[in-house]
């Protein structure tokens, strides 16, 4: 298939912000793509060669791409750099520079998707000495044969800035439209995706083996399952009511979520964002290998850093020190050892447990985990009254936890892969005059700093996730809570995500000085959620001409374990707004009663 055909569709997609139109263009593309190429086309469209959990990245730096471009166009690197400086987008720069060459008709063989993908793959696999040369050679030859539009795509793709604004959910919609169109088909496709986190694979199975195969889609060890998520409530009574009067209470540990895949003693650890983090936690992998009594298993739990001298649990920020680390892993593991608290089991020796009710899953978990000092099963209790629930809450908090997780044990208490629902409810430390919970927000832009902050950013523009529209809506400017050191580093941290215009999936009326690809998630604490005409989060839902904004927002931490789609949703912000109003009203009523 010609690359040109793909680019035509990308151009149409770039020209719209309407999800429904994007879906139609994608569905048409899926229909006309040969079966054996669909997996590749889907991955290319998502700006990747393989799903993120494989860790395969093309690894082309901007400098290298500019060099290849200069060679192909027969111009100096300096000239490419200057053009790029003016345009601010390497794709557009490539298009412009190669247009001049195109007029001279110097490009030759038409590019096929197969060839381009193969080239990208070779670049990704090139490592060690000589890798740079290999990458330059391949990229130059692709630019040589690309027309200007294709060059724009190639340049953006290799530096990881494809920016089509398409997320996984839109591709699932398009697959459903292309393969039947019914709601039922969409549900089966989504379940398959939730079980393997690999849309390309789902698309291939659909194309080659049909929907019946998707209906029977099976879990595979090594493919992370998309995590089940919790709703939140702020009173014990509401929680018990939602859970039909009985709650399976577990400590809510303040660490990082880890999904463990075990096969014949080989252990892989996946983060909440489904990245393979095994090499960052070799101690945890070893401890789990020693504790699991099964040939194959997938279990989930929370990794919590502990003080090596006292065994006391340390907060999330401490375990976060160990995330993303490539060097000194063993040393840091000694300083900050991690205890793994298992809380769920999803698969054991060929049996899928995701549709099994919670109590049965817990029973299975206790059978396959031999507890040690480093691998434990989460502490649990059953609560039938709000007094009990509050008691367990205080117990959990005094034992160093964030609060409790209250889980349903009804017959329908399955593991809802990839969904947030009321089968799990989180209940965190009580309301203390501030918003009870923090929000995880996505940085979508920044404002330049003044005075002491000149040369860096003065504030970031933050957004909540709009699940319905699959986009990010602004909610506040965030300038507090950063250390001086953090502040200095901000432009560097965000550099890989800089883009010259507002991103297609961003919805805001604010004019930032710098725009970002929505990627980095920050945990933010605030005093209150207020109505504001400036921000688009929940616009028009509570009041006609107003959205929701945060009052006195401040940074708590970088949530490197979360992807932007796992940020706090607009629906959650609205719920938090209502429950905050309820707490304030109740407090006011109490004061009136007491006086």
Q: Which of 150, 250, 275, 296 binds ligand ATP (CB under 6 A)?
A: 250
Nearest-approach distance from CB 176 to ligand ATP, in angstroms: 26
Q: Specify the 3-state DSSP secondary structure of 492.
A: helix
Q: Specify the 3-state DSSP secondary structure of 371.
A: coil
For residue 203, what are its two tokens?
Answer: 């698309």
Nearest-approach distance from CB 163 to ligand ATP, in angstroms: 26
**60-83 b/e with 16+ CB inside 10 Å = b?**
bebebbbbbbbbbbeeeeeebbeb
- Phi, psi of 104, deg, nearest 5: -85, 5
Choices 1-9, 47-55, 77-85, 248-256 (CB under 6 A): range interacting with ligand ATP: 248-256
Choices 95-103, 245-253, 450-458, 475-483 (CB under 6 A): range interacting with ligand ATP: 245-253
For residue 136, what are its two tokens?
Answer: 């330059």
Total number of residues binding ligand ATP (CB under 6 A)?
14
- Phi, psi of 198, deg, nearest 5: -135, 95
Note whether 556 binds ligand ATP by CB under 6 A: no
Q: Specify the 3-state DSSP secondary structure of 188.
A: helix
Choices 238-246, 247-255, 352-360, 466-474 (CB under 6 A): range interacting with ligand ATP: 247-255
Note whether 229 binds ligand ATP by CB under 6 A: yes
For residue 186, what are its two tokens?
Answer: 């969409």
CA torsion sign for 462, 559, 405, 52 is positive
> Which of 174, 405 has the CB closer to ligand ATP?
405
Could you please report the per-residue DSSP string of 61-106?
A: -HHHHHHHHHHHHTS-HHHHHHHHHHH--HHHHHHHHHHHHHHTT-
Could you please report the per-residue DSSP string of 474-514?
A: EEEEE-BS--HHHHHHHHHHHGGGEESS--TTEE-S---SE
Nearest-approach distance from CB 88 to ligand ATP, in angstroms: 34
**Which residues, 400 to 419, sit near ligand ATP by CB under 6 A?**
405
> Which of 215, 426 has the CB closer to ligand ATP?
426
For residue 191, what are its two tokens?
Answer: 């379940």
| C-alpha to C-alpha distance for 473 and 463, rounded to whole angstroms | 5
Nearest-approach distance from CB 182 to ligand ATP, in angstroms: 30
The β-bridge partners of 503 are none
Q: Which of 230, 294, 332, 541 binds ligand ATP (CB under 6 A)?
A: 230
Largest CA distance in the chain: 87
For residue 365, what are its two tokens?
Answer: 């978990």
For residue 303, what are its two tokens?
Answer: 């990794």
Choices 7-15, 120-128, 249-257, 479-487 (CB under 6 A): range interacting with ligand ATP: 249-257
Q: How many CB atoms lie within 10 A of CB 588?
A: 10
The β-bridge partners of 231 are 425
**Which residues, 160 to 219, sit near ligand ATP by CB under 6 A?**
none
Q: Specify the 3-state DSSP secondary structure of 571.
A: helix
Compose the 320-359 pattern: x for residues touching ligand ATP by CB under 6 A, - for all others: -----------------------x----------------
CB neighbour list of residue 353: distance below 8 Å, 6 or more residues apart: 345, 346, 347, 360, 361, 364, 415
> Which of 123, 576 has the CB closer to ligand ATP?
576
Active-site annotation holder among 252, 268, 407, 525:
252
Compose the 280-319 pattern: x for residues touching ligand ATP by CB under 6 A, - for all others: ----------------------x-----------------
Note whether 426 binds ligand ATP by CB under 6 A: yes
Note whether 560 binds ligand ATP by CB under 6 A: no
For residue 132, what are its two tokens?
Answer: 């740079």
Note whether 263 binds ligand ATP by CB under 6 A: no
Note whether 252 binds ligand ATP by CB under 6 A: yes
Q: Residue 569: name the closest of 426, 446, 470 by CA.
A: 470
Nearest-approach distance from CB 395 to ligand ATP, in angstroms: 14
Q: Is 588 a catalytic residue?
A: no
Nearest-approach distance from CB 292 to ligand ATP, in angstroms: 18
Q: What is the DSSP letter of 156?
A: H
Nearest-approach distance from CB 356 to ligand ATP, in angstroms: 16
Choices 24-32, 205-213, 244-252, 481-489 (CB under 6 A): range interacting with ligand ATP: 244-252
> Which of 26, 405 has the CB closer to ligand ATP?
405
Nearest-approach distance from CB 417 to ligand ATP, in angstroms: 12
For residue 272, the Cα-to-chain-centroid distance in whole angstroms is 8
| C-alpha to C-alpha distance for 97 and 148, rounded to whole angstroms | 8
> Which of 192, 405 has the CB closer to ligand ATP?
405
Nearest-approach distance from CB 250 to ligand ATP, in angstroms: 4
Q: Specify the 3-state DSSP secondary structure of 239.
A: helix
Which residue carries 């809570």 as its tokens?
Answer: 481
Nearest-approach distance from CB 567 to ligand ATP, in angstroms: 8
Q: Residue 271: name the closest of 262, 283, 260 by CA.
A: 260
> Which of 135, 428 has the CB closer to ligand ATP?
428
Choices 158-166, 252-260, 307-315, 458-466 (CB under 6 A): range interacting with ligand ATP: 252-260
Q: Which of 95, 201, 257, 261 binds ligand ATP (CB under 6 A)?
A: 257
Contacting residues toward ligand ATP, per CB under 6 A: 229-230, 250-253, 257, 272, 302, 343, 378, 405, 426, 440
Active site residues: 252
């Amino acid at each position: 298939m010609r690359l040109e055909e793909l680019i035509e569709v990308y151009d149409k997609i770039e020209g719209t912000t309407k999800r429904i139109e994007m879906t139609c263009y994608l569905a048409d593309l899926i229909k006309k793509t040969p079966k054996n190429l669909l997996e590749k086309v889907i991955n290319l469209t998502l700006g990747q060669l393989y799903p993120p959990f494989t860790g395969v990245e093309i690894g082309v730096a901007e400098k290298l791409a500019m060099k290849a471009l200069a060679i192909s166009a027969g111009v100096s690197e300096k000239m490419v750099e200057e053009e790029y400086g003016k345009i601010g987008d390497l794709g557009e720069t490539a298009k412009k520079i190669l247009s001049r060459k195109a007029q001279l008709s110097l490009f030759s063989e038409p590019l096929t998707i197969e060839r381009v993908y193969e080239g990208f793959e070779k670049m990704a696999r090139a490592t060690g000495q000589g890798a740079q040369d290999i990458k330059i050679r391949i990229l130059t030859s692709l630019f040589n044969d690309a027309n200007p539009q294709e060059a724009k795509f190639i340049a953006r793709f290799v530096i990881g800035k494809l920016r089509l604004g398409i997320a996984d959910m839109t591709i699932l919609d398009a697959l459903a439209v292309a393969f039947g169109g019914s709601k039922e088909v969409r549900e089966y496709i989504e379940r398959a995706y939730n079980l393997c986190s690999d849309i390309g694979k789902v698309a291939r199975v659909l194309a080659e083996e049909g929907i019946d195969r998707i209906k029977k889609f099976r879990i595979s060890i090594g493919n992370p399952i998309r995590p089940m998520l919790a709703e939140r409530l702020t009173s014990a009574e509401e929680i018990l009511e939602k859970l039909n009067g009985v709650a399976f209470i577990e400590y809510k540990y303040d660490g990082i979520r880890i999904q463990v895949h075990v096969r014949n003693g080989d252990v892989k650890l996946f983060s909440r964002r489904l990245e393979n983090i095994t090499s960052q936690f070799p101690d945890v992998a070893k401890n789990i290998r020693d504790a699991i009594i099964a040939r194959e298993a997938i279990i989930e739990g929370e990794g919590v850093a502990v003080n090596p001298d006292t065994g006391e649990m340390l907060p999330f920020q401490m375990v976060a020190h160990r995330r993303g680390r490539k060097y000194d892993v063993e040393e840091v593991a000694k300083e900050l050892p991690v205890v793994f608290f298992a809380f769920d089991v999803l698969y054991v020796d060929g049996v899928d447990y995701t549709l099994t009710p919670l109590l049965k899953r817990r029973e299975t978990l206790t059978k396959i985990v031999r507890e040690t000092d480093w691998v434990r099963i989460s502490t649990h209790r059953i609560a039938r009254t709000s007094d009990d629930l509050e008691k367990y809450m205080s117990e959990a908090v005094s034992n160093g936890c964030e609060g409790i997780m209250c889980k349903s044990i009804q017959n329908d208490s399955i593991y809802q892969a990839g969904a947030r629902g009321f089968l799990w409810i989180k209940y965190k430390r009580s309301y203390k005059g501030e918003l009870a919970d923090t929000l995880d927000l996505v940085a979508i832009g920044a404002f330049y700093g003044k005075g002491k902050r000149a040369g860096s950013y003065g504030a970031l523009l933050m957004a909540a996730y709009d699940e319905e529209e699959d986009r990010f809506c602004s909610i506040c400017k965030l300038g507090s809570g950063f250390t001086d050191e953090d502040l200095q580093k901000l432009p560097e941290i965000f550099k890989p995500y800089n883009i010259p215009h507002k991103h297609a999936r961003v919805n805001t009326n604010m004019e930032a000085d710098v725009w970002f690809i929505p990627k980095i998630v920050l945990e933010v604490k605030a005093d209150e959620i207020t109505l504001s005409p400036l921000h688009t989060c929940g616009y028009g839902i509570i009041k006609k001409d107003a959205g929701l904004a945060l009052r006195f927002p401040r940074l708590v931490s970088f949530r490197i374990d979360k992807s932007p789609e796992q940020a706090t949703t607009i629906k959650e912000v609205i719920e938090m707004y209502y429950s905050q109003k309820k707490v304030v009203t109740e407090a006011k009523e109490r004061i009136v009663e007491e006086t």
